[in-house]
């Protein structure tokens, strides 16, 4: 397949691109600067600028674009950037697809488990409605924009949990733990959706190559885990202390809204559609995903 990728140099994209190329797929990367290689194409999503004719020449589009949610604190200006960076990129891609004579057969658009909000008493599948809060609103609008892709394009919104690898939220948590600052956050009983980096890229590859699914798909490990279980396992494996608790009011004072929506929110997300589609996880527990992350286990393995 010929695959156009926005955000190819990011945390997840930089692991997915080698996996696809190892399998013989032709990857074209969208860049926001002048192209420096034959496999690059310039675009400006903030201005809605892209050569829409590229959509006639590719089989699939994958969009990872969006400001980093792990960057804290969320000032009013950064909250606007979180929303705009996602809407503008996805809109630019779907607009270009609709102008193509032969639109891509597949569109995979990144999404987030934050769409479910704080739902501590529920088991959350793709059938669960969106929750409340800033992140839930962002993801809902983001997915609505992805749905504007042409009808003939199979469109998937993959709702990722915390990706356990050398990047994103886990990179920050690992750094704090390394300096002996690992701690229980609030009660620690809140569920954090998680997935190993290896299974994240394998699942995206599955949705691209093997699946016929469309609509929302949860990318989360099959065994739910609490914040306390994840943070304690990380400290234990890094041989660092895990001896104190940061109360919820302190987190709120330090991080504001981001604390409530990213650290203290509880969402027991299960990958119902992915499992039903025949996908098999390599890392079925959060502890196994943490072991893989700390060992530097490669992501370029046969899918």
pLDDT by residue (tens digit) across 121-178?
A: 899 999 999 999 999 999 999 999 999 999 999 999 999 999 999 888 898 899 999 9
CA-based torsion, 159, 165, 171, 173: positive or negative: positive
Predicted pLDDT of residue 299: 52
Query: Residue 185: its pLDDT value, please?
Result: 96
- State the pLDDT at residue 89: 98
Helix H, strand E, coil C: the string for the chain is CEEEEECCCCCCHHHHHHHHHHCCCEEEEEECCCCCCCCEEECEHHHCECCHHHHHCCCEEEECCCCCCCCCCCCHHHHHHHHHHHHHHHHHHHHHHHHCCCCCCEEEEEEEHHHHCCEEEEEECCCCCCCCCHHHHHHHHHHHHHCCCCCCCEEEEEEECEEECCCHHHHHHHHHHHCCCCCEECCCCCECCEEEHHHHHHHHHHHHHCCCCCEEEEECCCCCCEHHHHHHHHHHHHCCCCCCEECHHHHHHHHCHHHHHHHCCCEEECCHHHHHCCCCCCCCCHHHHHHHHHHCCCCCCCC
Tell me how far apart the alpha carbons of residues 43 and 155 are, in angstroms, rounded to a whole number: 21
Cα(20)–Cα(86) distance, rounded to whole angstroms? 24
Among 257, 93, 250, smallest CA distance to 185 is for 250
- Whether the model pTM is above 0.75: yes
Local confidence pLDDT in tens for the 303 residues of the chain: 999 999 999 999 999 999 999 999 999 999 999 999 999 999 999 999 999 999 999 999 999 999 999 888 899 999 999 999 999 999 999 999 999 999 999 999 999 999 999 999 899 999 999 999 999 999 999 999 999 999 999 999 999 999 999 888 898 899 999 999 999 999 999 999 999 999 999 999 999 999 999 999 999 999 999 999 999 999 999 999 998 999 999 999 988 889 999 999 999 999 999 999 999 999 999 999 999 999 876 555 544
What pLDDT, on the 0 to 100 scale, is given for residue 298?
59
């Amino acid at each position: 397949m010929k695959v156009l990728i926005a955000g190819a140099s990011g945390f997840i994209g930089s692991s997915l691109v080698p996996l696809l190329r190892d399998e013989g797929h032709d990857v074209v990367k969208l860049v926001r600067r002048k192209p420096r290689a034959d496999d690059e194409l310039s675009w400006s999503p903030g201005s809605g600028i892209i050569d829409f004719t590229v959509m006639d020449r590719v089989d699939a589009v994958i969009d990872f674009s969006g400001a980093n949610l792990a960057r804290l604190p969320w000032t009013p200006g950064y909250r606007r950037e979180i929303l705009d960076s996602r809407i503008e990129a996805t809109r630019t891609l779907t607009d270009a697809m609709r102008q193509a004579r032969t639109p891509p057969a597949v569109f995979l658009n990144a999404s987030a488990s934050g769409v479910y909000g704080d739902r501590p008493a529920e088991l959350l599948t793709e059938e669960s409605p969106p929750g409340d809060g800033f992140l839930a609103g962002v993801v809902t609008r983001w997915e609505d924009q992805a749905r504007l892709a042409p009808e003939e394009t199979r469109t998937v919104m993959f709702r990722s949990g915390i990706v356990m690898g050398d990047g994103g939220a886990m990179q920050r948590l690992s750094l704090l733990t390394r300096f002996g600052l690992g701690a229980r956050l609030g009660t620690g009983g809140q569920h954090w959706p998680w997935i190993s980096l290896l299974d994240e890229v394998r699942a995206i590859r599955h949705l691209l190559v093997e699946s016929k699914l469309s609509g929302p798909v949860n990318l989360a490990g099959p065994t739910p885990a609490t914040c306390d279980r994840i943070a304690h396992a990380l400290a234990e494996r890094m041989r660092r202390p895990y001896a104190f608790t940061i109360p919820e009011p302190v987190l709120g004072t330090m991080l504001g809204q981001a604390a409530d929506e990213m650290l203290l929110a509880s969402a027991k997300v299960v990958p119902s559609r992915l499992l039903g589609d025949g996908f098999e996880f390599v890392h079925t527990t959060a502890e196994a995903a943490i072991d893989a992350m700390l060992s530097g286990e490669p992501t370029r393995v046969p899918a």
